[in-house]
Amino acid sequence: MATHASDNGSGHAEWRFARAAKEGALAVAGDKMSIRAARFKISASVDGRDPRPVLPLAHGDPSVFPAFRTAAEAEDAVAAALRTGKFNCYPAGVGLPEARRALAEHLSSDLPYKLSTDDIFLTAGGTQAIEVVVSVLAQPGANILLPRPGYPNYEARAGLHNLQVRHFDLIPERGWEIDIDSLESIADKNTTAMVIINPNNPCGSVYTREHLAKAWLLISLTI
């Protein structure tokens, strides 16, 4: 499906990616429907006359909130770099050395050891980061422990790499804490990783140091 830019009358071009994405998501064969198509269908059924606000929980996009806008200094730095003509090329797959070095120095300030440039791998957002990590962890016969409820991209990437998924529950009555008692029954010597999201997505909980220590101790003794 082709998409193009059009002039909105202000002299600035507007790309029609949103419309193309919606049309593509809804063009589903038979009775199969993607998550995005289901979201569009639900959104279309919302009564616009209802004064109650709709809270979108399907996609976390901080850029829509003014408080999380990219700093002007960062925008100016990107624009200045583009104008130099020195960066109009493919970067290294792991990220620009200068950026990785700066991140290593920044993160090392809170650690009891020093990170090097080789310890930093830059990705284009969390989705690529999950893809990279899962592809490294995947090996024949291995399994990964994922939270339930959880972010579906972990399960999708695990399936892509034939990594068996085993779920542990988060308990709503305990502020969505990990059901630590169940970990021993699902973890074994083939468990390659346990995914813990803190602060949690999608539940929004923040685990205490003590709770995380209990989970780490049990897993470290089991696998």
Domain check: are 170 and 204 in the same one? yes
**What is the count of structural domains for the chain?**
2
Per the domain annotation, does 108 fall within a domain? yes
Single residue among 56, 88, 119 that ends a domain in this structure: 119
CATH classification of the domain holding 184: 3.40.640.10
Is 29 inside a domain boundary?
A: no
Digit-by-digit pLDDT tens for the chain (223 residues) are: 445 555 555 566 666 656 655 555 555 545 566 667 777 788 888 888 889 887 766 666 777 777 788 889 999 999 999 999 988 888 888 999 999 999 999 999 989 999 999 999 999 888 999 999 999 999 999 999 999 999 889 999 999 999 999 999 999 999 999 999 888 899 999 999 999 999 988 888 999 999 999 999 988 887 7
Domain assignment of residue 98, yes or no? yes
pTM here is: 0.68
> Residue 102 belongs to what domain range?
79-119
Tell me the three-class secondary structure of 34-102, residue by residue. CHHHHHHHHHHCCCCCCCCCCCCCCCCCHHHCHHHCCCHHHHHHHHHHHHHCCCCCCCCCCCCHHHHHH
